[in-house]
């Protein structure tokens, strides 16, 4: 069975790990930074060498295309090439490099295909330099207002617009991905969680992206002196928060075991060891693919009393996102192809967001996950063994060709 080339894929990963190399096993390759532009340049150079035609759109998304035998919309692969600060060599870029390897295999093996085949780099997926994340896929799918995005500033005060214009990659708005020109997107990505590795699974068959809610809770008590206020007089906002976090754990643990929820952020005021806290805030992030389970989470939140341990309790939604379901035919292709290669598979929903979740609103889309060692991501320890990267590339190759044939 036709496969990608392990040595070539290794070379790609090694080469691109130089762009933004932190010297500690990872990279800092913020969107449109010099390191990111180096990576783009190397990508374009390699695509041109394969005879691909390169276009960029007004958000500097890069589309590198092998012509097809027929006049049909293109089939896309790819992901993003930017990283968070002190990130790793796999998140995003592996989707680009496996796409490039699939293109190289198709070109060098002279594999017949009717549709044009495109490798895409989406600009500023991480949102680590310019907020928000998934900015450019968001703009071209109508999720974000372009003018607002152009005004987004990095910590030095540089706007996204300025960085875009200086990059040399800003192209025409007509070059944007749209359903007339593109037939499909398959985005390969690292799982960013421990499940595939732990369960010894080769390929995550991604059915969609989990719906999520993010709430902020506030408890208002009374600041008093730790040494003078008998316990019975206290309105301790931290204790009220503690009681509520315990309640949330107790109740949320009764729901479906695939639910993940996190109290990641907490702050107390005035946060002095000798003062009873008067204000405490914490966040709850909860994710599940089934909207009914998210509704159950909301019911549990709504059942929090207005007064907890004599403190006023309130909460508000910071944001939410509905569950995204990928194109089921493509999901089935991924599963079938992995099995044909003899790889183990698991159907799963992505917890984190990806460009694919916006693109799927416009054209049929799916994703392929490969394991993340120990679940690490967004850090220098982020790692996926070459063998797993290759398996992902092989499934990607076969899936692109299946889409081409159907």
Residue (73 or 351) nearer to a second copy, CB: 351
Residue 378 marked in a binding site: yes
115 counts as binding a second copy under rule CB under 8 A: no
Is the backbone peptide bond immediately before 270 cis, with ω within 30 degrees of 0? yes
Residue 325 marked in a binding site: no
Minimal distance, residue 197 CB to a second copy, in Å: 10
| Helices vs. strands in the chain: H and E counts, helices first | 12, 15
Residues sharing a CB contact under 8 Å with residue 234, sequence separation 6 or more, in sequence order: 221, 222, 224, 276, 310
Contact 264, 204 (CB under 8 A): no
Q: Name the one range near a second copy by CB under 8 A: 51-59, 159-167, 260-268, 289-297.
A: 260-268
E-strand ranges in 73-180 read: 74-80, 117-122
Minimal distance, residue 21 CB to a second copy, in Å: 23
Is the backbone peptide bond immediately before 320 cis, with ω within 30 degrees of 0? no
Kindly tell me the burial class for residue 253, based on how many C-beta atoms sit within 10 Å of its own C-beta (0-12, 13-18, 19 or more). Answer: exposed
CA proximity to 43, closest of 22, 15, 76: 15
Q: Name the one range near a second copy by CB under 8 A: 21-29, 168-176, 192-200, 290-298.
A: 192-200
212 counts as binding a second copy under rule CB under 8 A: yes
275 counts as binding a second copy under rule CB under 8 A: yes
Binding mask 371-390 for a second copy (x = CB under 8 A): -x--x-xx------------
How far is residue 163's CA from residue 134's CA, in Å, rounded to a whole number?
16
Residue (23 or 227) nearer to a second copy, CB: 227
Q: Name the one range near a second copy by CB under 8 A: 94-102, 124-132, 230-238, 385-393.
A: 230-238
Residue 189 marked in a binding site: yes
Q: How far apart are the first and last CA of the chain?
A: 19
Tokens of 101: 């390897």
Contact 63, 57 (CB under 8 A): yes
* Alpha carbons within 13 A on the beta-carbon side of 2: 19
Binding mask 313-332 for a second copy (x = CB under 8 A): -----x--------------
How far is residue 125's CA from residue 139's CA, in Å, rounded to a whole number?
11
304 counts as binding a second copy under rule CB under 8 A: no
Q: Which of 140, 205, 276, 393 lies at the binding interface for a second copy (CB under 8 A)?
A: 276
Q: Which of 224, 251, 312, 332 lies at the binding interface for a second copy (CB under 8 A)?
A: 224
Minimal distance, residue 79 CB to a second copy, in Å: 16
Q: Which of 87, 277, 364, 371 lies at the binding interface for a second copy (CB under 8 A)?
A: 277
Helix (H, G, I), strand (E, B) or coil at 156: coil
Minimal distance, residue 268 CB to a second copy, in Å: 5
DSSP letters, 187-249, are EEEE--SSHHHHTT-SEEEEEEE-EEEEEEEEEE----BTTTS-GGG---HHHHHHHHHHHHH
How far is residue 125's CA from residue 83's CA, in Å, rounded to a whole number?
8
Count the residues of the shown chain that bind a second copy, applying the rule CB under 8 A.
Answer: 58
Residue (67 or 352) nearer to a second copy, CB: 352
Binding mask 142-171 for a second copy (x = CB under 8 A): ------------------------------
Minimal distance, residue 236 CB to a second copy, in Å: 8
> Can you say which residues are annotated as belonging to the binding site for Zn(2+)?
80, 91, 126, 189, 378
Binding site for a second copy (CB under 8 A): 191-195, 198, 210, 212, 214, 224-233, 236, 238-239, 242-243, 245-246, 249, 253, 257-268, 271-277, 283, 285, 287, 318, 350-352, 372, 375, 377-378
């Amino acid at each position: 069975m036709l496969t990608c080339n392990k040595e070539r894929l290794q070379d790609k990963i090694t080469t691109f790990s130089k762009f933004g190399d932190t010297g500690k096993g990872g990279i800092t390759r913020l969107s449109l930074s010099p390191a990111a532009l180096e990576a783009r340049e190397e990508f374009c150079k390699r695509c041109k060498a394969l005879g691909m035609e390169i276009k960029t759109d007004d958000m500097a998304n890069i589309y590198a295309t092998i012509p097809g035998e027929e006049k049909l919309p293109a089939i896309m692969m790819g992901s993003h090439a930017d990283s968070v600060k002190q990130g790793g060599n796999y998140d995003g870029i592996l989707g680009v490099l496996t796409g490039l390897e699939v293109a190289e295999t198709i070109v060098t093996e002279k594999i017949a295909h009717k549709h044009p085949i495109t490798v895409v780099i989406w600009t500023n997926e991480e949102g680590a330099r310019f907020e928000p994340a998934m900015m450019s896929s968001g703009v071209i799918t109508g999720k974000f207002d372009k003018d607002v995005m152009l005004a987004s500033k990095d910590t030095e005060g540089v706007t996204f617009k300025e960085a875009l214009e200086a990059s040399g990659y800003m192209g025409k708005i007509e070059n944007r991905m749209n359903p007339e020109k593109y037939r499909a997107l398959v985005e390969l990505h690292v799982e960013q969680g421990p499940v595939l590795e732990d369960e010894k699974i080769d390929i995550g068959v991604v059915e969609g992206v989990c719906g999520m809610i993010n709430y902020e809770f506030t408890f208002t008590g009374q600041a008093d002196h730790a040494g003078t206020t008998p316990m019975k007089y206290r309105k301790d906002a931290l204790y009220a928060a503690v009681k509520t976090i315990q309640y949330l754990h107790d109740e949320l643990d009764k729901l479906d075991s695939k639910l993940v929820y996190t109290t990641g952020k907490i702050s107390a005021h005035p946060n002095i060891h000798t003062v009873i806290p008067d204000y405490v805030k914490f966040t709850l992030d909860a994710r599940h693919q089934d909207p009914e389970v998210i509704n159950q989470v909301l019911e549990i939140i709504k059942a929090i009393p207005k007064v907890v341990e004599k403190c006023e309790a309130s909460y508000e939604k910071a944001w939410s996102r509905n569950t995204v379901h990928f194109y089921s035919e493509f999901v089935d292709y991924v599963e079938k192809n992995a099995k044909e290669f003899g790889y183990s598979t698991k159907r799963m929903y992505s917890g984190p967001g990806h460009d694919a979740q916006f693109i799927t609103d416009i054209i049929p889309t799916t994703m392929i996950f490969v394991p993340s060692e120990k679940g690490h991501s967004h850090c220098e320890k982020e790692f996926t063994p070459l063998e797993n990267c290759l398996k992902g590339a092989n499934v990607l190759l076969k899936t692109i060709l299946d889409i081409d044939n159907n």
